[in-house]
Chains A and B, each alone.
Chain A
Amino acid sequence: MTKIKSLFISLVLTLGVSTAIAGSHGSTHDLVKERGKLMCGSNTGLAGFGAPNDAGVWEGIDVDVCRAVAAAVFGDASKVEYVPTTSKVRFTVLQSGEIDMLSRNTTWTLSRDVDLGLEFVGVNYYDGQGFMVNKSLGVSSAMELDGASVCIQVGTTTEMNLADFFKANGMSYESVPVETNSEADAAYTAGRCDVYTTDASGLYASRAGYPDPSAHVVLPEIVSKEPLGPAVRHGDSEWADIVRWSLNAMIIGEELGITSANVDEMKSSKNPEVLRLLGVDAGYGAMLGLSDDWAYNILSQVGNYSESFEKHIGPNTPINIQRGLNALYKDGGILYAPPFR
Chain B
Amino acid sequence: MQTNFFRKIIFDEKSRSLLIQTLVIGLFALFIYLITQQTAYNLEKRGISSGFDFLHISAGYDISIRLIPFTSEDTHLRAYFVGLLNTLMIAVCGCFLATIIGFLVGIIRLSSNWLFRNIAYVYVEFTRNVPVLVQIILYYSILLNLPKIKQAIVIFDNFYLTNRGFFSPSPIFKDGFSIVAWSLVIAIIFSFFLKRFLKKKQEDTGKQYPTFMINSAIIIFTPIIFYYIMGMPLEFDRPVLKGFNFKGGMVIRPEFLGMLFGLSIYTAAFISETVRSGIISVSKGQREASQALGLKSNFIMRLIIIPQALRVIIPPLTSQYLNLTKNSSLGIAIGYADLVHGFGGISLNQTGRAIEIMMMVMLTYLTISLTISFFMNIYNKSVQFKGNA
Give the interface segment out of B46-54, B173-181, B267-275, B380-388. Answer: B46-54
- A155–B345 CB distance below 8 A: yes
* Contact status B42-A163, CB under 8 Å: no
Contacts of B247 in A (CB 8 A): 147
Q: How far in angstroms is the closest Cβ of chain A from B331?
A: 10
In the complex, which residue of chain B has the Cβ closest to the Cβ of A146? B243
Report yes or no: B63 in contact with A192, Cβ–Cβ below 8 A. no
**Across-interface contacts of A176 in B (CB, < 8 A):** 64, 335
| Total count of chain A residues near the partner, CB < 8 A | 53
Contacting pair A14 B345 (CB below 8 A)? no
Confirm or deny: A271 has a beta carbon within 8 angstroms of a beta carbon on chain B. Answer: no
Q: Which of A11, A18, A87, A187 contacts B35 (CB 8 A)?
A: A18
- B163 contacts the other chain (CB 8 A): yes
> Which residues of chain A from 87 to 104 have a CB within 8 Å of any chain B CB?
87-88, 91-92, 95
Tell me the residues in window 211-248 of chain B with beta carbons closer than 8 Å to chain A beta carbons.
242-245, 247
For B28, what are the chain A residues with a Cβ–Cβ distance below 8 Å?
Answer: 11
> In the complex, what distance in Å separates the CA atom of A145 from the CA atom of B244?
8
| Residues 125-145 (chain A) with a chain B CB within 8 angstroms | 137, 145
Contact code string B32-74 (vs A, CB < 8 Å = 1, else 0): 0011001101100111110000000000111110000001110
Flag the segment in B103-111, B144-152, B302-310, B364-372 that touches A: B144-152
B377 part of interface (Cβ distance < 8 Å) = no
A 175-215 to B, binary, CB cutoff 8 A, 1 in contact else 0: 11111000100110011101000000000000000000000
Chain A, 1-37, CB within 8 A of any chain B CB: 4, 7-8, 11, 14-15, 18-19, 22-23, 25
Q: Are A190 and B144 in contact (CB under 8 A)?
A: yes
Residue numbers in A under 8 Å from B315 (CB-CB): none
Chain B's interface size range is 35 or more
CB-CB < 8 A to A159: which residues of B?
60-61, 346
Task: Judge whether B46 and A233 touch: CB under 8 Å.
Answer: yes
A116 at the interface (CB under 8 A from B): yes
Of B42, B46, B243, the residue contacting A147 (CB under 8 A) is B243
Compute how far the CA of A163 lies from the CA of B79 in the bound complex, rounded to whole angstroms: 14
Q: Closest residue to A25 on the B side, CB-wise? A: B45
In the complex, what residue of chain B is closest to A176 when comparing beta carbons? B335
Give A235 to B45 CA distance when docked, in angstroms: 8
State which of B1-9, B126-134, B349-357 sits at the interface with chain A: B349-357
Q: Which of B20, B27, B31, B62 has the most CB of A within 10 A?
A: B62
Q: Are B45 and A163 in contact (CB under 8 A)?
A: no
At the interface, yes or no: A148 with Cβ under 8 Å from chain B?
yes
Q: A95-B48, A234-B47 are in contact. Are A187 and B144 (CB under 8 A)?
A: yes
Q: Which of A155-174 touch B at CB < 8 Å? A: 155-156, 159-160, 162-164, 167, 173-174
CA distance A18 to B349 in the complex (A): 26
Q: Is the CB of A115 within 8 A of B63?
A: no
Indicate if B300 sits at the interface (CB-CB under 8 A): no
Answer yes or no: B164 CB below 8 A from chain A CBs.
Answer: yes
Question: Do the beta carbons of B349 and A191 come within 8 Å of each other?
Answer: no
B residues with CB within 8 A of A: 20, 24, 27-28, 30-31, 34-35, 38-39, 41-42, 45-49, 60-64, 71-73, 144-145, 148-149, 163-164, 242-245, 247, 254, 332-333, 335, 337, 341, 345-346, 348-352, 354
A-B residue pairs, 3 tightest by C-beta: A155-B349, A163-B72, A191-B148
What are 9 A-B contacts defined by CB distance under 8 Å?
A22-B38, A22-B39, A23-B38, A148-B243, A162-B62, A167-B72, A178-B335, A187-B144, A191-B148
Q: Which residues of A contact B (CB under 8 A)?
A: 4, 7-8, 11, 14-15, 18-19, 22-23, 25, 87-88, 91-92, 95, 111-112, 115-117, 137, 145-149, 154-156, 159-160, 162-164, 167, 173-179, 183, 186-187, 190-192, 194, 233-235
